[in-house]
């Protein structure tokens, strides 16, 4: 306790003369002090950010631990003490890129390719990060700070390029002068304290502000003015206030609460606005990305730069209440212990830190070996930003058998361990040491779902509904279920709407369907009143544009308010293509074609290769009869991404609508080959082949569609119609009977059967 506390001496030394003097303060003075403090605290408005120096005098130990940490060095003004790179006329060349780093008048500059492709001189304003690499931020018009894609390797002491092997022209979104490298939207939120992005979509400019340039105390603890005011009151006069006046509780909380304190910056996510420390749920501020293909391997291992939240919440450690601070000091970010000692805080030394468990020696061929370390098997690393090795935090058991089964990596065969051996070799040793891996893994289900394999359907439903699995995994299963339309799928989505996990509800509401619009409204309307922002705003977008008479007055009011909340969330991110695309979708649902087109074009202006916006704009233009413009957009996408089979499908449908059936068949066949599990593609291909008189190909396509979705009435009717046209009435009759069997209450099957039987009685047609 600080020696300035008058009671400190008394507690330490007993009743001394000093203590007597302290204790003879008139009682009325203590009461008056207490009254003033209570009045002052009651009058305080919204808490404000006050800066770390206000924290230091009481929290010296935490402050000293934080100094020099990665959080402390997250960002800094460029100066001789913060810039680590070589600016002594150093020249770096990569492909057609040349950069010269130099100093002038005490300032730091780089001469390199600018936004117009021509060389220019640019001043370095800020450093960004510190190890294993440091980047540099350059001011641009409109309040932007652009992150140079040539970075400094702090270990090798050399410049390097962040996109090796890629040719990125100045027009590309990834170029250092374009949106992917704009600090204000891409990086700022997690490198400074009290960050307000301040993007103006009308002027396309930023007025970004922060209270502290780095990740300081209040980045985690929240604005602390109330706490500081409380702490400045003499101890005996301090009123009892919740959490000592701090907005964010960091002590006496669950492991999940602590992990979600870190998640806003340590997750792959979509942000819903400037970070609000008062939010009750993680999804009030952001939507974490599920285990999407291209970001994660099918078994949930990290693939792209997804940070650690998405992997850690899959772990057994998370389920067993392990939290970030069990391994990391929350202020210095350093490990509590070195090597296996870190894990042995919880795990038995004699069991787990033994050769009989890990089967690796500490020396190999006379040289030190690290194969015995827990993290080598349970937290394999991958490099990001070329040289930044990051560990997978799912802390999983190595599974070479899954590598053989679904092609995911395993710790044995990566990271320089046994990558010179075959996977079979690793699997053999694994079985020899630990026995056959008998536990099923959700990765096999997600892998099958990604490929659209029919056998994945039932397993995805089971996985989505099993609360013993991580919410991240269950939400991923739900997202894949959308490709399997059926009554069972609909039921799974409906059940998920009331799930305890917000991420599961959010995913479900984006996919739910119903037989009638009235049933749909009945299912989704309750989500308008969900306590979690991401869930209720997603529900609002799904209800947007439906007839007003389907809603009660209070529901209409809630819908309007929540749509406005959604619009604000998307406007916050209009410097990204996805936000313009989402607003375009919203206004398309609302029937405002002009606004929809505006926002789709806003998205395309930011990133000319953003496929969803171009595809949906093409659909909008098609609905207005502007088919020439729609065709241009779809062809632009296919020219850039020939393997976008969904776009080939859209172009095929458009061409069919224009009666250009030969061209339509070409693109629909391309889509069918690339999307083998999408029955609707084959169905439309079959109809186009019918128009072209290519009967055999039409039959193959329609039969394939029906094989993929055996109960689909449209597909059965189309195949029956095909057989009638071909004079194969008995085959048509068999399909009609199947229609009646599968859909006895639908009149269509009965009508087809009656027509075919009448034709057979008339003597026309054959088997």
CA–CA separation, 136 and 198 (whole Å) = 21
365 and 316 within one domain: yes
Query: Same domain for 261 and 134?
Result: no
Q: Look at residue 436 in the predicted model and tell me its pLDDT.
A: 77
Say if 606 falls within a structural domain: no
Tell me which residues of the chain have a pLDDT lower than 70. Answer: 1-44, 415-416, 437, 763-767
Which tokens go with 591?
Answer: 């029937």
List pLDDT tens digits, range 472-491. Answer: 999 999 999 998 888 899 99
**Residue 551 pLDDT:** 97
Tell me which long-range contacts 403-407 makes (C-beta under 8 A, separation of at least 24). Answer: 403/427, 405/444, 406/298, 406/299, 406/443, 406/444, 406/447, 407/298, 407/447
The verdict on 207 and 333 lying in the same domain is: no
Residues 296, 189 within the same domain: no
Asked if residue 732 belongs to a domain, the reply is no
**Does the residue 444 lie in any domain?**
no
Residue 655 lies inside a defined structural domain of this protein: no
Q: Same domain, yes or no, for 104 and 157?
A: yes
Number of domains in the chain: 2
What sign results for the dihedral spanned by CA atoms 623, 624, 625, 628?
A: negative
Instruction: Give the number of other CB atoms < 10 A from CB of residue 578.
Output: 17
Residue 560 counted as domain residue: no
Supply the range of the domain harboring residue 290. 255-396
Statement to judge: residues 185 and 278 lie in one domain: no
- In this structure, are 200 and 326 located in the same domain? no
One domain for residues 203 and 118: yes
Cβ neighbors of 759 (< 8 A, separation 6 or more) are 724, 729, 765
H-state helical runs in 510-643: 517-524, 533-543, 553-572, 577-589, 593-606, 611-623, 627-640
The total number of residues written for the chain in this structure: 767
Q: Are residues 157 and 272 in the same domain?
A: no
Last residue of a domain, one of 165, 185, 215: 215
112 bridge partner residues: 120
Domain boundary among 396, 429, 463: 396
Q: Are residues 177 and 264 in the same domain?
A: no
CA distance 381 to 375: 9
| Residue closest to 360 by CA, chosen among 425, 418, 420 | 418
In a domain, 339, yes or no: yes
Identify whether 102 is part of a domain.
Answer: yes
| Judgement on whether residues 210 and 95 belong to the same structural domain of the protein | yes
pLDDT confidence of residue 764:
55
The last residue of a domain, from among 350, 370, 396:
396
590-613 per-residue burial string, b: 16 or more CB within 10 A, e: under 16: eeeeeebbebbebbbebbeebbbb
Q: Using the 8-state DSSP alphabet, how is residue 147 labeled?
A: E
On whether both 264 and 200 belong to a single domain, the answer is no
pLDDT in tens, 526-581: 999 999 999 999 999 999 999 999 999 999 999 999 999 999 999 999 999 999 99
Token pair recorded at residue 658: 């224009």
Whether 97 maps to a domain, the answer reads yes
């Amino acid at each position: 306790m600080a020696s300035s506390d008058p009671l400190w001496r008394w507690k330490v030394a007993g009743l001394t003369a000093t203590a007597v003097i302290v204790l003879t303060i008139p009682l009325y003075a203590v009461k008056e002090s207490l009254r003033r403090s209570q009045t002052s605290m009651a009058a305080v408005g919204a808490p404000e950010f006050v800066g770390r120096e206000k924290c230091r005098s009481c929290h010296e130990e935490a402050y000293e631990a934080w100094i020099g940490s990665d959080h402390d060095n997250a960002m800094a003004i460029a100066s001789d003490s913060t810039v680590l790179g070589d600016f002594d006329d150093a020249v770096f060349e990569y492909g057609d890129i040349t950069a010269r780093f130099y100093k002038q008048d005490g300032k730091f500059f780089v001469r390199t390719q600018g936004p117009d492709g021509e060389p220019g001189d640019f001043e370095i304003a800020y450093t960004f990060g510190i190890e294993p690499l440091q980047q540099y931020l350059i001011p641009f018009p409109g309040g932007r700070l652009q992150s140079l894609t040539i970075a400094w390797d702090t270990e090798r002491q050399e410049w390097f390029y962040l996109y090796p092997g890629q040719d990125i022209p100045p027009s590309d979104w990834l170029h250092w002068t374009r949106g992917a490298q704009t600090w204000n939207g891409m990086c700022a939120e997690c490198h400074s304290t009290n960050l307000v992005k301040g993007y103006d979509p009308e002027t396309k400019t930023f007025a970004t502000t922060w209270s502290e340039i780095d990740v300081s105390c209040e980045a985690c603890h929240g604005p602390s003015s109330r706490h500081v005011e409380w702490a400045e009151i003499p101890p005996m006069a301090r009123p009892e206030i919740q959490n000592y006046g701090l907005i964010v509780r960091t002590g006496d909380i669950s492991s999940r609460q602590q992990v979600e304190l870190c998640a806003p910056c340590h997750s792959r996510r979509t942000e819903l606005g400037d970070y609000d420390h008062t939010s009750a749920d993680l999804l009030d501020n952001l939507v974490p990305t599920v285990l999407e293909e291209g970001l994660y391997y099918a078994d949930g291992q990290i693939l792209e730069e997804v940070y650690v939240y998405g992997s850690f919440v899959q772990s057994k450690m998370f389920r067993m209440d392990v939290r970030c601070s069990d391994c990391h000091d929350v202020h210095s970010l350093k490990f509590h212990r070195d090597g296996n000692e870190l894990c042995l805080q919880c795990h038995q030394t004699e069991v787990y830190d033994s050769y009989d468990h890990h089967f690796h020696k500490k020396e190999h061929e006379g040289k030190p070996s690290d194969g015995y370390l827990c993290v080598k098997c349970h937290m394999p690393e991958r490099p990001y930003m070329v040289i930044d090795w990051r560990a997978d935090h799912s802390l999983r058991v190595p599974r070479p058998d899954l590598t053989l089964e679904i092609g995911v990596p395993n710790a044995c065969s990566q990271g320089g361990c046994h990558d010179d051996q075959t996977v079979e070799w690793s699997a053999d040793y694994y079985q020899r040491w630990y026995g056959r891996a008998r536990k099923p893994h959700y990765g096999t289900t997600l892998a099958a779902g990604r490929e659209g394999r029919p056998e994945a359907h039932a397993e995805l439903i089971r996985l989505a509904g099993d609360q013993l699995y991580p919410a991240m995994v269950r939400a991923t299963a739900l997202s894949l279920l959308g490709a399997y339309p059926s009554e069972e799928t609909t039921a799974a989505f409906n059940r998920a709407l009331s799930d305890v996990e917000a991420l599961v509800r959010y995913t479900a509401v984006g996919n739910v369907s119903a037989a009638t619009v009235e049933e749909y409204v009945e299912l989704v309307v309750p989500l308008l009143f969900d306590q979690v922002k991401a869930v209720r705003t997603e529900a609002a977008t799904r209800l947007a544009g439906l007839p007003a008479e389907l809603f009660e007055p209070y529901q209409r009011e809630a819908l309007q308010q929540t749509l406005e909340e959604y619009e604000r969330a998307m406007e916050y991110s209009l410097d990204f293509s996805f936000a313009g695309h989402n607003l375009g979708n919203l206004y398309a649902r609302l029937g405002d074609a002009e606004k929809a087109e505006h926002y789709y074009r806003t998205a395309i202006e930011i990133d000319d290769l953003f496929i969803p916006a171009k595809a949906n704009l093409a659909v909008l233009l098609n609905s207005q009869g502007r088919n020439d413009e729609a065709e241009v957009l779809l062809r632009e996408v296919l020219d850039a991404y020939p393997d976008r089979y969904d776009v080939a499908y859209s172009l095929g449908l458009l061409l069919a609508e224009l009666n250009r059936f030969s061209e339509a068949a070409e693109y629909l066949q391309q889509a069918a080959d690339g999307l083998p599990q999408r029955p609707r593609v084959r169905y439309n291909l079959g109809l186009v082949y019918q128009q072209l008189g290519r009967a055999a190909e039409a039959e193959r396509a329609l039969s394939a569609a029906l094989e993929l979705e055996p109960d689909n009435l449209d597909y059965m009717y189309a195949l029956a119609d095909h057989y009638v046209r071909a004079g194969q009435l008995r085959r048509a009759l068999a399909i009609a009977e199947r229609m009646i069997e599968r859909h006895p209450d639908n009149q269509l099957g009965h009508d087809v059967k009656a027509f075919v039987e009448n034709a057979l009685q008339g003597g026309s047609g054959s088997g």
